[in-house]
Structure 1
Amino acid sequence: MNCLQLVLLLTVFMQQVYSHKFAMRPLDILISQMSKELQEQQNVIDFLERINPSALITFNNVGPACSKALQKISNGFQVQESDAMHVVDSWGTIDTGILKGSFVFPGRYFDCIEVSNQFYKGKHCTVNVEVDASKTAAIAFDDTLELTVGGCFPEVCTKLEITSLFGEVPSNMTFNVKCPRDLQEYNIYLYVLTFVTLILLTLVSLASVYDFVTSQVKKEPGHPNTENSRYKLMVQCFSLQRNTRSLFSSQQNKDEISCINGIRAVSVIWVIWGHAYLIPIKFADNALTMMDILTTSWSLQPVINGTFSVDSFFFVSGLLVCYHGLNAIKQNGNGINYLAMLVYRYIRLTPSLGSLILIALAGPLLQIGPFWEEKSVFVSDQCRSYWWSNLIYVNNLFPPHMPDQCCDWTWYLANDMQFFMVFMLLLPWLHRSPKIGLLLACMVFLSCVVATFVLSIMTSQQPQVIFRTIKVKQKQLFTEMTDRTENPFRTDIYTKPWSRISTYLVGVVTGFVLHNKNKIYITGLQATFGWAACIICTYISIFSLKPSLEIVLPLNLWLAALYNSLSRPLFGAALAWLTIACVKGNGGLLSTFLSNPAFQPLVKLSYATYLLHPMVIWMLLATRETRIHYSTRTISMLFISSCLLSGILAFVFVMLVEAPAMKLAKIFFIKRKPVKKLD
């Protein structure tokens, strides 16, 4: 009896033991029910045992081309022919570790596709089985038990022919085969991506050569020092040496808030850290073990609550636009071009976002691997349908369901753009009548907090981390975290602007306070109280749910709604005190660390890094033909490699797209110096 048989058969009695009707069942009825369930379990086991290379030998009901190829493999295997042996050897097998979340057995993908001769060519397909626990006794997996096994088949065999190799499917399970699809429809996106990349490389190369030559000519004696024309400035926007110097420059303006650089850099690293732990769940052979570690370790609570890293971005964005916006109005004589602000922001952000969408569209052709096609095709197809919603920054609202969004991690950009537009309505009031401006900001803040609270009550929402942990520990939601089926929290609350603007408004108020920082004096007692409040707010936001996670206990509905509506603004309040304390000299070593000039290059790469890092992690995982085993060392290596590779690609991204777009926007839309400081 193998591991899978032990799991399925022993849980028959366990289901009866834990049934509320156990005591009321007569013995004969109980025995009859258990016998029926045992037979159903045996049917499942018999079918699962057929998912192995023997299906290539006992074939029937297939077409002549597939039959001929299978016959060649069967005959070749009997005489130990190399290609046939590789076909059989590349199959995945159901192994140990199912109770710890080892549900995927991909086999040897590259060994399979490398098989090629005049009779057949290898094709890697996955066989997916879902056992319905409502008709069986698989209590260990509650609703369903899903298994995926990789197999190697002749390329000429169709999906239907491969399905027929495994015979009749038991009534209490669903079964499907996924094979590589024809990717020719994605060629157009690859051609466009290649063309755009070549154009950008040409522009950067020519501009760099031009900039080098003109800089050498200026050094010659007697050469007149002429002013730069607009056309010359446009060319210099693409200069590699200029953009590189700008990227690695640590020079700061006197009115900059230096600790913000550290907060932004740490936030980006936090995002990658969280994704390095959570994205690999589908690719792990002990995913449930890792969930136990995440929910019971104090040091890993920032990982499982990593969504607060995005709130750091919202806070910083609100602070900077308010702080620099008020400074711009003051220096510009009460006049500011609001349309130029909006256009500049759109042009600065959108070329990089558009480039990411183009990469996503061509994604299925950029890599190969056992899971790459499935993931990349899914993302590409969503972008084919909804790319336009990203470019007008409404993708957090339409499509309404997060799994349908193009590059769904870019929901943050849509919120940030919408918040910026709200801020432009507040900025004149904050300048002309600060009391009315602050009152309006507080009214919007309170309205959104109340709306989140009411919506959470109406939809019975648990905090996302509790919702996921309960489902995963009951082994019900492994697919939700991997196949991205619907999570109500993400759709109803997580990505919606009325639930996320509160932290942004905390940043706006903080920016207003720092604009008048010369009027602020913090006593020692006030500093002590401020740091205590900061620690308490951070604890409530990130660490307070740990007891519920450990015992897998949902919160009271009202308490859950209170957490959903207040945890993020409380975290914003903690960041507000941290920033004010650093600016006013009450930050100590933390202020010294966050204000380190070394963070400046990281900050300038942060936008591109945020856009690219999910694809980098998926590439590192989905192209592996072996599963990853969760451990501190393994995840640390994945995290470090993801940071380094994302940083390298972000540098290329900045040099080709982001830096030229930003400088061109300044030339055409920012005519007055104060407005230039808005970013």
Structure 2
Amino acid sequence: MGDFQQCVNIEASTKTGVILGKYCLGSLAVKNTTSSVHQNVWEIISLDKFGTDRVVLLAKFPWALCLPGGCTTDDANLVGNFLLTYVIGNEVGVRFSDLLCQTVKEVNPPLTNGAIVTLAILALLLSMVVLSTLYDIFCIFYAHKSCAMLVKAFSAYTNSIKLFKMTTPTPDQLPCLNGLKWLSMVWIVYGHTFISQRDSSITNTKHLIDWTDTWYSMFIFNATLSVDTFFTIGSALMSYGFLKAKCKNVRFNLFQYYVHRYLRLTAPFAIVVLVSATLLKYMGSGPKWPLVDQSLQQPCSNNWWSALLYVQNYVNVTHMCVIESWYLSIDFQLYLISPLLLCPLWKYPRACLSFLVLCVLGFVGVSFYVAWANDLNAIPSNFYGNIKNYENYYYYRTHTRCPSWFIGVILGYYIYKLKQKEFRLKLNKTVVWIIWGVCLGTMLTCVLGGFNSLRDEEYDRWGNAFYIALVRPVWSLAISWIILACTNDYGGPINWVLSLPIYQVLNRFTYTVYLIHVTILYMITYDKKRPGYFSNINVAYSFWGLLWFSAGISYLLILMTESPMVVIEKILLESFGKKKQSKRNLESGVDNAALEK
């Protein structure tokens, strides 16, 4: 990869002007001698023992040149091929692209108007946090009880107290969910850290491919199952909370129901989208840094609207803004239809539960059909398959990922009934141990299943289709048992671990860490100036750095967006409630006056 910094810093003055250094990163290639039509067809060399039709070529051989700034990509190919022909022979060459050729002008581009506006918005938000904090401290120091709640909304002091506060759970709460959510988030970050190695620059690329053939790599590739844990938990909390509110005669307001959800999701997400669309390309440099602009910034510049409307898993599925936000799109779309299920669940529970079971079975069938019709590969580490088709046709789509969500709705109903003591879950110890054994064995099967049978070059249509259709609903059923057991005194040490008070704090960072960790990860990956070395310990070291660095950035994001939005929303709802109440009082006064007359 050469010396990137040395090359782009070259600046030589001549009689005809200034010559800048241009760093070009290419890949070794071989001439395709089997083509009778095109005699100058070059194929990128890779450690690709699976053939050249794979979508993801993990192990390309980089070759960098430092050239005068006036050289074109064709010049780079000419020079590179000449050097390799002189050393090796005319069968080996190198291929460069305009994208990965950079001078100091491309490395340090001028700020755009959008970037300046974004910096101003971030500066304004940070200023509001600082000023609000100072105002809050002043109120506390001088014991002013009448300090404006709205002005204190951005206070880092008060919001941090709320953020790091640990309380004793009430009987209505489900403390085990805090641990489940945070540990699932950790699994997601760990999986993304490993998977990012395929796009990184490493010296032992063959070791990476060999590692994917090990059974323990399945624990990394199947970290995607943790997303179904979130689907199950989210819908369970939604149905449980709705039924609990109806039991207390709380009036359901559809408008507030939707606005609350949109504001809480979008407040931090909008800042992430804004920064991604305008600032990312200024936040680093390196041989592969232009890929940040191409794969992270440009999709947000062009498709920010579909991200904020939560429709990009259908509208711009191949060019998503903040790629991990596909989950938000599915979650919000399902939230929109939830009143159609929750209201009947309260009034006609038996019929609605039957309908929900049919929905689970029906959409499992839809997943089977999609996998069958598109020849999708079920195992992400199977590089014979087309991972892009798996993502675009199945992984990002609401109609194929919703069975876990429907299972969660059913789970929430039974948790509510158990909490209301309408029926009890009475199991003896032997049955509990058996169910726990089946549950943990099922989860292990979901993670390791298909390793020996679904990773061959010969495509197994039945096996892949059944696996895709069933693995996530079955995983959600296992998660449902864990939640039921932990909330009914059958969790034992597992419930104790999942309900530790520290998870109350960590869980509050889950959403924002999810939003930003992939972007940070790929910024680190593409910022590398030297190739690294792939090993389990190196990736684990990177993971812990990524996790806590993301937590630190998410803390700032929460202070600027999420925590203030909670206060602002509360003020608006209280104001709306007062206006509504005053209107009722006025109408009551008019009616009384009419009666008196």
TM-score, normalising length from structure 1?
0.75
Corresponding residue for residue 442 of structure 2? 537
> Which one-letter code corresponds to 2:260 in the other structure?
Y
Matched, 1:179 2:101: yes
User: Per-residue CA shift, 1:468-515, capped at 9, x if unaligned?
Assistant: 3x36xxxxxxxx8xxxxx711111111101111111111111111111
Distance, in Å, in 2 between the alignment partners of 1:285 and 1:667 is 56
Q: 1:295 to 1:423 in 2, by over 3 A?
A: farther
Corresponding residue for residue 350 of structure 1? 266
Matched, 1:208 2:133: yes
Q: Counterpart of 2:112 in 1: which secondary structure?
A: helix
Q: Counterpart of 1:368 in 2: which secondary structure?
A: coil
Write out aligned runs for 1:106-117 (5 A): 106-117=1-12
Q: 1:281 to 1:324 in 2, by over 3 A?
A: same
Corresponding residue for residue 549 of structure 2? 645
> Which one-letter code corresponds to 2:133 in the other structure?
S
363, 369, 380: which is aligned to 2:280? 363
Matched, 1:595 2:509: no
Matched, 1:425 2:340: yes
Q: 1:579 to 1:565 in 2, by over 3 A?
A: same
Q: 1:400 to 1:185 in 2, by over 3 A?
A: farther
Matched, 1:318 2:235: yes
Distance, in Å, in 1 between the alignment partners of 2:324 and 2:382 is 20
293, 297, 302: which is aligned to 2:211? 293
CA drift of 1:446 comes to 1.6
User: Per-residue CA shift, 1:531-562, capped at 9, x if unaligned?
Assistant: 1331232123111122236x735563112111
Write out aligned runs for 1:155-554 (5 A): 155-166=69-80, 175-177=95-97, 178-180=100-102, 182=106, 184=109, 187-218=112-143, 232-254=148-170, 255-283=172-200, 284-298=202-216, 300-331=217-248, 333=249, 335-361=251-277, 362-401=279-318, 404-468=319-383, 470=384, 487-517=388-418, 518=421, 519-524=423-428, 525-548=430-453, 552=456
Distance, in Å, in 2 between the alignment partners of 1:573 and 1:141 is 36
> Which one-letter code corresponds to 2:190 in the other structure?
W
> Which one-letter code corresponds to 1:205 in the other structure?
V
CA drift of 1:140 comes to 5.1
Q: Counterpart of 1:123 in 2: which secondary structure?
A: strand
CA drift of 1:422 comes to 2.2
Corresponding residue for residue 39 of structure 1? none
Q: Contact 1:135 / 1:172 at 8 angstroms: preserved in 2?
A: no
- Larger deviation, residues 488-497 vs 286-295: 286-295
Q: Contact 1:464 / 1:489 at 8 angstroms: preserved in 2?
A: no
Q: 1:140 to 1:420 in 2, by over 3 A?
A: closer
Write out aligned runs for 1:645-664 (5 A): 645-664=549-568
Distance, in Å, in 2 between the alignment partners of 1:172 and 1:451 is 48
CA drift of 1:662 comes to 2.9
Q: Contact 1:430 / 1:438 at 8 angstroms: preserved in 2?
A: yes
> Which one-letter code corresponds to 2:79 in the other structure?
L
Distance, in Å, in 2 between the alignment partners of 1:161 and 1:465 is 39
Q: 1:315 to 1:554 in 2, by over 3 A?
A: farther
> Which one-letter code corresponds to 1:162 in the other structure?
A
CA drift of 1:440 comes to 2.3
CA drift of 1:171 comes to 9.6
Distance, in Å, in 1 between the alignment partners of 2:410 and 2:114 is 44
> Which one-letter code corresponds to 1:118 in the other structure?
S
Matched, 1:135 2:40: no
Distance, in Å, in 2 between the alignment partners of 1:322 and 1:236 is 33
Q: Contact 2:203 / 2:532 at 8 angstroms: preserved in 1?
A: yes
Q: Contact 1:348 / 1:665 at 8 angstroms: preserved in 2?
A: no
> Which one-letter code corresponds to 2:488 in the other structure?
K
Q: 1:135 to 1:559 in 2, by over 3 A?
A: same
Q: 1:447 to 1:134 in 2, by over 3 A?
A: farther
Q: CA RMSD in A?
A: 2.7
> Which one-letter code corresponds to 2:52 in the other structure?
D
Q: Counterpart of 1:196 in 2: which secondary structure?
A: helix
Q: 1:310 to 1:288 in 2, by over 3 A?
A: farther
Matched, 1:607 2:511: yes
Q: Contact 1:344 / 1:669 at 8 angstroms: preserved in 2?
A: no
Q: 1:167 to 1:566 in 2, by over 3 A?
A: closer
Q: Contact 1:363 / 1:377 at 8 angstroms: preserved in 2?
A: no
TM-score, normalising length from structure 2?
0.84
> Which one-letter code corresponds to 2:208 in the other structure?
M
Q: 1:424 to 1:570 in 2, by over 3 A?
A: same
CA drift of 1:206 comes to 1.4
Corresponding residue for residue 630 of structure 1? 534
Q: 1:216 to 1:334 in 2, by over 3 A?
A: closer
Q: Which runs of 5+ in 2 are unaligned?
A: 36-42, 578-597
Q: Which runs of 5+ in 1 are unaligned?
A: 1-105, 220-224, 472-479, 481-485, 673-679
Q: 1:132 to 1:258 in 2, by over 3 A?
A: farther
Distance, in Å, in 2 between the alignment partners of 1:412 and 1:336 is 26
Q: Contact 1:456 / 1:561 at 8 angstroms: preserved in 2?
A: yes
Q: Contact 2:378 / 2:464 at 8 angstroms: preserved in 1?
A: yes
Distance, in Å, in 2 between the alignment partners of 1:437 and 1:185 is 58
Q: Counterpart of 1:548 in 2: which secondary structure?
A: coil
- Larger deviation, residues 117-126 vs 140-149: 140-149
Distance, in Å, in 2 between the alignment partners of 1:514 and 1:132 is 64
Q: 1:652 to 1:488 in 2, by over 3 A?
A: same
> Which one-letter code corresponds to 1:143 in the other structure?
T
CA drift of 1:349 comes to 0.9
Q: 1:443 to 1:107 in 2, by over 3 A?
A: same
